[in-house]
Amino acid sequence: MPSPRGSRERRSARPEFASLLSQRGPGAPESPSRRRESAGSAPPPLPEEDCMRLNPSFVGIALSSLLAVDLWASKRLGVCAGEASAWGSVRPLLKVVEVSGHGIPWLLGTFYGLCQSGSSAAREVLLNLFFALVLDLVLVAVVKGIVRRPRPTHNKMDMFVTVSVDKYSFPSGHATRAALVCRFVLHHLVLAVPLRVLVVLWVLIVGISRVMLGRHNVTDVLFGLFLGYVLYSVVEYCWLSPLNAPALFALWSH
């Protein structure tokens, strides 16, 4: 039978053993069971942003690649961005093309035609052209203000009559306006085939000149042409006539 003195000594030794275990440093060896538990536990998950960087989506890769190609091609095609550029001697001619696609000459010319027109049919066409040009200016300005894509670095800010949003490049307002006017003219004016071909060529020259002058990237012009093409369909759908807008036509009646 164990003596009471031995039992008391064993009880007093247990707390000392527990305190030694609690004071064991991080470098002390772990038991096999603890090692198996540590090996079996899953590593903590990566943050979501790290997962996105490590596993980029296909759409993100495609957009980044498209942007890189767009910037490279726009830089290579900007051969008239300055007088010292490869085709710098052609720059004055392309600046004339730039003015031909500017909004102010088109608005002033259409307004003058409205004031001088003596035919109700001509006034209807010109009034809708004026409405289309105003809608084009507003829509392009809104998109530029939302996207805020800066113009190419090789562009010289010597453009004809600019406003605050013209420091942004997406989309090309000249390309949008050229496509819009082209569809409008081809649908509402009776022109000979050579003149119709010249109108289409004018659109292409305006679009190409925007990249050659360094004003826009290639995607700015392509989206501008698409936007102008679609915008004409909106104008056709909202076509103004003496029946649905009599007050407007009363202003121009003699």
- Domain membership flag for residue 71: no
- 168 - beta bridge partners? 150
- Domain membership flag for residue 26: no
pLDDT in tens, 224-244: 999 999 999 999 999 988 888
- Domain membership flag for residue 9: no
Catalytic residue among 174, 187, 188, 254: 174
Full domain range(s) for residue 114? 92-251
Give yes or no for a contact between 210 and 151, defined as CB atoms under 8 angstroms apart: no
User: For position 51, what pLDDT does the model report?
Assistant: 47
- Domain membership flag for residue 235: yes
**How far is the C-alpha of 9 from the C-alpha of 36, rounded, in Å?**
35
**How far is the C-alpha of 165 from the C-alpha of 140, rounded, in Å?**
9
Residue entry with tokens 């006017």: 181
Q: Where are the alpha helices (DSSP H) in the chain?
A: 4-22, 32-40, 48-54, 58-77, 91-100, 103-116, 120-147, 173-188, 193-212, 218-237, 246-252
Strand, helix or coil for residue 215: coil
Q: How many CB atoms lie within 10 A of CB 85?
A: 18
Q: 88-103 b/e with 16+ CB inside 10 Å = b?
A: eeebeebbebbeebbb
Q: How many CB atoms lie within 10 A of CB 165?
A: 15
Q: What is the total count of domains within the chain?
A: 1
Tokens read off for 179:
């496509």
- Domain membership flag for residue 32: no
- Domain membership flag for residue 53: no
User: For position 41, what pLDDT does the model report?
Assistant: 53
User: For position 245, what pLDDT does the model report?
Assistant: 79
Residues of the chain under the 70 pLDDT cut: 1-56, 252-254
Catalytic residue among 102, 154, 187, 216: 216
User: For position 80, what pLDDT does the model report?
Assistant: 87
- Domain membership flag for residue 64: no
**How far is the C-alpha of 120 from the C-alpha of 150, rounded, in Å?**
44
**How far is the C-alpha of 228 from the C-alpha of 38, rounded, in Å?**
64
**How far is the C-alpha of 200 from the C-alpha of 49, rounded, in Å?**
48
| Mutual angle of helices 218-237 and 58-77, in 10-degree steps | 100
Residue 216 falls in the annotated catalytic set? yes
